[in-house]
Structures are given as C-alpha cells and as structure tokens.
Structure 1
Amino acid sequence: MSLFLNKQMKDEVEVWWSSEKNPRDRAWFYSPSPISYELEQRENLLATAPDVTPIPTIAIFPKITYQEILGIGTSLEESTIYNLAKMSHEKREEIYTQLVDRDSGVGFNLMRITLGTSDFTAQPFYTYNDLEVGESDFDLERFSIQKDIDLGIVQTVQRLLEISPDMKIFASPWSPPAWMKTNEDIRRGQLKEGKQYTDALAKYLRKAIQAYQEQGIPLYAITLQNEPLLEIDYPSCYMSPERHNELAIALKKELVLHSLDTQIWIFDHNFSDGWMYVSPILNDKEGNAATDGIAFHDYEGEPSVMREVKSAYPNKTIHMTERSLWGVEAADRFVQYFRNWASSYNAWVTMLDSTIGKHQWVGIPDPTLIVQNAASTDEHWKTPEFYLTGQLSKFIQYGARRVESNYGSIDTVTNVAFLNPDGSLVVVVVNQTDNEQQFRILIEGQQIIADLPAKSVATYRWSSVN
C-alpha cells in the first residue's frame, strides 16, 4: 500500500538523495565512476510542530496552485535507438524499464521523437518523402515512415508504451523533404514560397501523425520545425514567424479535417528569441486558435521568458522541449523551468557510446544520461544526470500541479514544490554549495527539518495535510 494511503504514516516524510560528480566531464564517456548518491532512499523524517529554529526556510502553500504538469522525459532520437539495437534483448529491456518504470526506474513519462532524422543519427539523413532532384509529390503518394520501422524506432516506442501505457509522445521535424525547400537539400534552406508548399508540408506532418497512430503510437503533440531560426549543415530549415503561422493554421485544418487531436506547439527554439517569434503568431486570430502550446530550448536566454509569455498568452501551455544539463546547477535550472511555468521538460539524446557515437552534430557532445561501452555493447553505465533528473521524474505525476513556495537562495538551498493527483506533496530541493545545508520546510502547521549534503539534490514526499 502507498505511504499516502497509510494513515499511521501520515506524519512521516520520505527522502531520496542524488549527487553530482564531475559534471560535464567527457571522462564519463570512457568509463563509469562511483557516485555518492544515486536516487538513494534515506531514513524517513518526521513532521513536527513548528519552532523558531534559525535556519533557511522553505514555506509551502499547497492551496495556491499553478500549471498542470504534463511530464518529464528524454528523447528517442535515432542515435539512441541505434545503440540500443546493438544490445541483447535482455539488456535493452533492462534499460527500457530503468527509463520509464516509476518503481524500479526514473519514470520518464514524456518522450520526444524526431520525424525523419535529426543531427543525432547514425544514418544518412532522410525524411518521409525523399525524391530525386527536380521531382515533386504534392499528393505525397510516395510518403512512408518505413525507414523508422526498419531502423527499430517504431518498435522501440511501441515497447516502451507496453511497459508504460500512460507515457506520452511528442514529435519534431528537423527539415521538410528536400523537394519542398529552396536549396533542394535537407540541410539548410527554407520552405519554398507559396501556399502549395505550406499546404504540402501541413499534409506531410498530418500523414506522419496518422502513420504513427496506425502503428499504435498516438502523438500527443507536434512541433512544426525544430529550431526554426537555425540553418546549419545537418537537417534544418529556416522558417520565419509569418511562415510558421501559416503552417500552424494549415496543419490545424488538416487535423480537424481528419479528426486528429494532436496538439500543435509552436516555436521550439531558444528563450532569447521567444518574444520576437511567438507574438506575431499568437497575436493573429487564426494562429492563436491553431496553437495549443509554446516550446522552448535553453541554449540562449533565461527561463523567465516563459513566465512573461505565459502571462501574455495565459491559455497556452509552456514546454521545455530540449536541453541537457549537468550537475546540481542543472538541477536548479530544472527548478527554474517549472517555477517559470513549464508544464514539461525533455532532455536531448539519451545514450551515446564510449566513442561518443554515433551522431552527425557539428560539435562534440557532452556526456549523455546513459553511456554504452562500444567494445562490449551490453555494458552500460549511467551518469549522475540520470539520477538527478530522476529526482523529479520519479515523483512528479502526470496531472500534478506546481504549488506556491519561496525559491530560496543559491547560497543555501533552492526548491520547487508540487501537489500530485494522489494527494502527495513533492518538494525537490537543490544544494549547489560546497557545504552541507540544514533547512526546514514549513507547511500548514507542520515543519520538516532536513540536512542535505553538498552538491546534492533531495526529494521529499509525504501525504497531503488535508
């Protein structure tokens, strides 16, 4: 029986710790290293009557609620699938369970897939409608996701859904088919001018949604173009806000016509350009009506932009769709995402191997959540980031609400708090300092006094007071 259904345990608080170690150090690709705390469950704490202990205080107000949480997860881009395919069935199953099972793993419940290849792939770049130069296919008669099936992408997602049926999937394209683009190439370029190309791309995206649905994989949401302000030497496509708006409207019509309920998330790029990009779309009546949410990446700018955009467009959900980070500084960034109205968070790239492969990004990636030994492909190890992310994903349920709490201080501890649908309260606390920190949590006439080791994250969970 759950702790939160056992009234005799009502005043006890469950505690888990994870710690950082050598964050972002490329040595994690070459071999594992002992980590002090790996989602380690500690002795329960007791809630007591408040006193005047002069220590940093986290004050929680569970009746003041904010955004609903959709989920936390990572990506199933082809590089990860490629490495998983090299493992034995037993080892693959082990990793699947560790990724999505809430009891024996970290409980990721929101996964990002790519529509066609991204830069993180071991394959030649492809889309679902690749033609010879000079050809076109406005009726999309040669559309097919067969490569996704052949490469095991579809099978992997299907298996994860079998293990975790409530898991949600959203998808992002890195480029339209080359024949739709100004440079006739999946890399760089723009969508060709004209309504016929906008409509063709909308139809292409709608057919991708249907094709995955036919495979038993419903897509909860779709972003229209990964990083639409970027042109680079891997699948990419510059798309102005005005063209993005046209595409959102055209895709919405396709979804309505074909009775599809997949959400449309616009933008899918950096905080720094958020205002410039989303306002022309959301200030347009049709664009606003076509848009369900706004997706952000965290490579430039600050999370506070999400709060500003949410204030301006309160009926739109906010999503952090791409960024991998390292150490307790990253954990505090997670805190900031949710405190600034994100309803979800997804890491980017789940598993590369010990040769940092295979991928076609233009730089050298930092350590991934899981690393595979290239010389012995069934062997793998987890970086501290796997556990640090799990401090949130394992405990924050779909449908949870962020609740009011004071942020705290990077000189002591910072936090974010949630009320789960089952009535449990979850507080994630981050200690970025070089020293152990003692603090207390105050909530509705009770306090919990806790100690948190240096450079560590703790999750506290207990039954709701009411």
Structure 2
Amino acid sequence: MIKQAIELRANSHLKLLASCWSPPGWMKTNDSIVGGYIKGSPGGKYYKTYAKYHVKFLDSYKSEGINFWGITTTNEPFNVVKNAPYIFNNVGLTPEMLRDFIKLDLGPILQESDYGVDKLNVLILDDKKQYLPQYTEVILTDPETAKFVTGIAVHWYDDGEDPYEYLSPTHDKFPNYFIMSTEATAGYKKDAPNTGQLGNWTRAEEYAYDMIQDFQRYVTGWIDWTFVSDSLTGGPSWNHGKFDSSILVDPKMDTYYRNPMFYALGHFSKFIPPNSVYIGHNIQGNSMGISCATFIDPSQQLVIVLLNTNDHQVNLIVNNFTSIAIPISLDSHSITTLVTPSSLP
C-alpha cells in the first residue's frame, strides 16, 4: 500500500512517520504489550534491544525502497505512568525515562546506523498537549539528549481543559524544535459513540477547528488517525474498538464513502501545500463561532481557511487579501477557503 501511495504521488514527496506503540511483551515488566514498563533501566540490555528494534524496522522498509521521514519515540507514554485504564498496546515512559532512553540508547544507535537527525526526524512525546511542559522541560534542556531530537508530537485529546494553551509557550521556550499534531480521531469523546457515523458534519467541524487552533499556535502539520476504516461503523482496530474515519469502506458492497471529515481535511491539504507559512489574520467585530487561519504558499499566494460553526450566516469583510476589501458571506456550519495572488510586497 505504501508503494502504491508513493507511485501515485510520483511528482511530490510523500513523508512517512512511524510510531512504535509497544515493544514485545518479553521486553516488559508485565510480559504484555498492553501497559507495563521496559525491563531494567535506560542503558540496559532491554532498552538497547528496543532501540535496535527501531533500526531493524527502518532497515526492513529501506530494503523495500521505502524511507521514513521520521519516527516518534513511542505512542502516548504517559498513559501507563498515570495509571490510566488503557486497552491499547502501549508502554510507560516517564519524562526522565524517555530522556535517558534517547540519550543512551535510541539516539546513538540511530546515529551509528545512518539514521541521524540529518536524515531522520525524531519526535518526542506523541501524547496529549497537557504533558508538553513535563516532557519538553526534562528532555530538551538536556543537551546530550536534545541533539538527537528534531520535533515534538502532540495529540488532540484533552482532559476537560483548554489543551491549546500549552503550544505557544512550548514554541517560545524551544523554538528550534517543530511541533506536529500526530493523532486525531473522531468519536473518542464520552458524549459521542465510539463508532463510525456516515455523514456526521459536526466531526468535520471539530477537525477543522482543531487544525486552525493548532496552526495559530505554531503547529506545522496535522495527521488523521485513522484515515480509512473497512466498516461503516468504524474499525476494526487492534482492541476491537470502533472509531470514525474520513473514509468508510463497505466491503459487502465493494464501495466506500467520503465522510465530511475528508472534505474538512481537503480545505487544508489541497490548498496549503508543504512549505507554506502561517501569517495569521485578525477578525474584527463579532467573531463568535468564527475561526480563521491564513497562509502564504510557496507561490506567494494567500490562502485563508474560514470556519463558521454558528447556526446562522455570517457576513465578513476581508481586508489585505486583494487590492480592495472583499465582502464574503459564510453559510451556517460551513468551511470556506479563499485563494488569491498575494498583495504583499
């Protein structure tokens, strides 16, 4: 499937990011791929084996002509640490454990195996935004660890608080490390069923809103999880759970459906190419329910994505977009993208 994707994207570079969720059970304190910690301590034989596990993965794909743009240091390491009820394959790594694992094991073996930071991006955390202070402070203030790291991965889930407040301070403190949103899935919330919902527009708005909020706070990319489910109700997944997807496949009818989330993503992926620069845009007047993100693309075009979550139409005047002010009406519950040659010098 990856080879097919590369072939379809022959004229543009496809960036692949891998994330290991758990080492095999025999490497762990509970002999299971669900929960538990790696046996011993960083620098020990089990941590070194886990680091080598990453290299073998990368080597195996390279032998098939597939090269990865980056890896994360593990998926959601704090769920085990905080004793969260968790049913996915995962492994616990405190900020200190992850720091020392990168410094003593993963970083050196990647460097020795020709996967240094000049060739492979290494993203830390890969967990909720709320944990940014703990992990970045411990890991990125250690120069021997930080030299093996290029980015920070975050997820869109929250614990009943504003998760976006942690992004800008992290960027301000560690501006040399990019931030990327590496996981989002609809249907995880307690007030919504964990299942695919064909045609659910609210979830499309949630996707667009999260992307805009992220991009306003220095996030450089956004990854859907999962993009395709081979069931109209979502799934199957490793733990038999069911989650919504941008594309739902009906194997019985040999067909598929594009959910509204697919088109929400398209407003960004189709019109904001790689190497675009976020510049922001002020909304004056009553902006309740309106979200906005503005970019300059590599061809120097301006791109504005506007989200209206109101139950009513909203009329706006867009300034500094062309040589004259542009009036625009946003339909209720709509996503609108404007593209025009840049009026900036």
Hey, what does 1:15 align to over in structure 2?
Answer: none
Q: Would the aligned equivalents of 2:236 and 2:242 in 1 still touch at CA under 8 Å? A: no
Q: Secondary structure at the match of 2:238?
A: coil
**The one of 220, 235, 244 aligned to 1:357:** 235
Q: Would the aligned equivalents of 2:216 and 2:280 in 1 still touch at CA under 8 Å? A: no
Hey, what does 2:75 align to over in structure 1?
Answer: 226
Q: Would the aligned equivalents of 1:426 and 1:459 in 2 still touch at CA under 8 Å? A: yes
Q: Secondary structure at the match of 2:78?
A: coil
2:306 maps to 1:452: no
**The one of 264, 277, 281 aligned to 2:122:** 264
Could you tell me how far 1:233 is from its partner in structure 2? 2.9
Structure 1 residues 293 and 458: CA distance shift in structure 2, 3 A:
same
Hey, what does 1:171 align to over in structure 2?
Answer: 18
How far apart are the structure 1 equivalents of 2:134 and 2:240? Answer: 26
Hey, what does 2:196 align to over in structure 1?
Answer: none
* TM-score, with structure 1 as normaliser: 0.63
Could you tell me how far 1:229 is from its partner in structure 2? 1.2
Could you tell me how far 1:393 is from its partner in structure 2? 0.8
2:299 maps to 1:422: yes
Q: Secondary structure at the match of 1:356?
A: coil
Could you tell me how far 1:406 is from its partner in structure 2? 1.8
Hey, what does 1:160 align to over in structure 2?
Answer: 5
How far apart are the structure 2 equivalents of 1:277 and 1:256? Answer: 22
Matches within 5 A, 1:284-303: 284-300=142-158, 301=161, 302-303=163-164
How many residues were matched structurally? 309
Which runs of 5 or more residues in structure 2 are unaligned?
Answer: 81-85, 187-202
Q: Would the aligned equivalents of 1:248 and 1:264 in 2 still touch at CA under 8 Å? A: no
Hey, what does 1:388 align to over in structure 2?
Answer: 264
Question: Deviations for 1:182-210, whole angstroms, at most 9, x for unmatched residues?
Answer: 11211111111132222221111122122
How far apart are the structure 2 equivalents of 1:170 and 1:329? Answer: 23
How far apart are the structure 1 equivalents of 2:49 and 2:120? Answer: 18
Hey, what does 1:311 align to over in structure 2?
Answer: 172
Matches within 5 A, 1:404-419: 404-406=280-282, 410-411=287-288, 413-419=290-296
Could you tell me how far 1:418 is from its partner in structure 2? 0.7
Hey, what does 1:59 align to over in structure 2?
Answer: none
Question: Deviations for 1:410-455, whole angstroms, at most 9, x for unmatched residues?
Answer: 5252200111111111100111111111112111753221111100
Q: Secondary structure at the match of 2:109?
A: helix
Q: Secondary structure at the match of 2:69?
A: strand
Q: Secondary structure at the match of 2:19?
A: strand
Question: Deviations for 1:342-387, whole angstroms, at most 9, x for unmatched residues?
Answer: 011011112221243322347542x3111111422x2111111110
Q: Would the aligned equivalents of 1:412 and 1:437 in 2 still touch at CA under 8 Å? A: no
Question: Deviations for 1:226-246, whole angstroms, at most 9, x for unmatched residues?
Answer: 000124333111111111112
Alignment-mate amino acid for residue 187 of structure 1: V
Q: Secondary structure at the match of 2:61?
A: helix
Which runs of 5 or more residues in structure 1 are unaligned?
Answer: 1-155
Could you tell me how far 1:251 is from its partner in structure 2? 1.9
Hey, what does 1:252 align to over in structure 2?
Answer: 107
Q: Would the aligned equivalents of 1:209 and 1:219 in 2 still touch at CA under 8 Å? A: yes
Q: Secondary structure at the match of 1:209?
A: helix
Which structure carries more relative contact order (alpha carbon 8 Å, separation 6+)? Answer: 1
* TM-score, with structure 2 as normaliser: 0.85
**The one of 422, 435, 448 aligned to 2:312:** 435
Q: Would the aligned equivalents of 1:198 and 1:246 in 2 still touch at CA under 8 Å? A: no
Instruction: Indicate the structure with greater strand content.
Output: 1
How far apart are the structure 1 equivalents of 2:59 and 2:275? Answer: 26
Taking only the aligned residue pairs, the percentage that are identical comes to: 26
Matches within 5 A, 1:206-217: 206-217=55-66
How far apart are the structure 1 equivalents of 2:96 and 2:297? Answer: 39
Could you tell me how far 1:223 is from its partner in structure 2? 0.4
2:172 maps to 1:323: no
Q: Would the aligned equivalents of 1:318 and 1:342 in 2 still touch at CA under 8 Å? A: yes
Q: Secondary structure at the match of 1:443?
A: coil
Q: Secondary structure at the match of 1:204?
A: helix
**The one of 131, 138, 141 aligned to 1:273:** 131
Hey, what does 2:279 align to over in structure 1?
Answer: 403
Structure 1 residues 363 and 211: CA distance shift in structure 2, 3 A:
closer
How far apart are the structure 2 equivalents of 1:390 and 1:324? Answer: 16
Q: Secondary structure at the match of 2:266?
A: helix
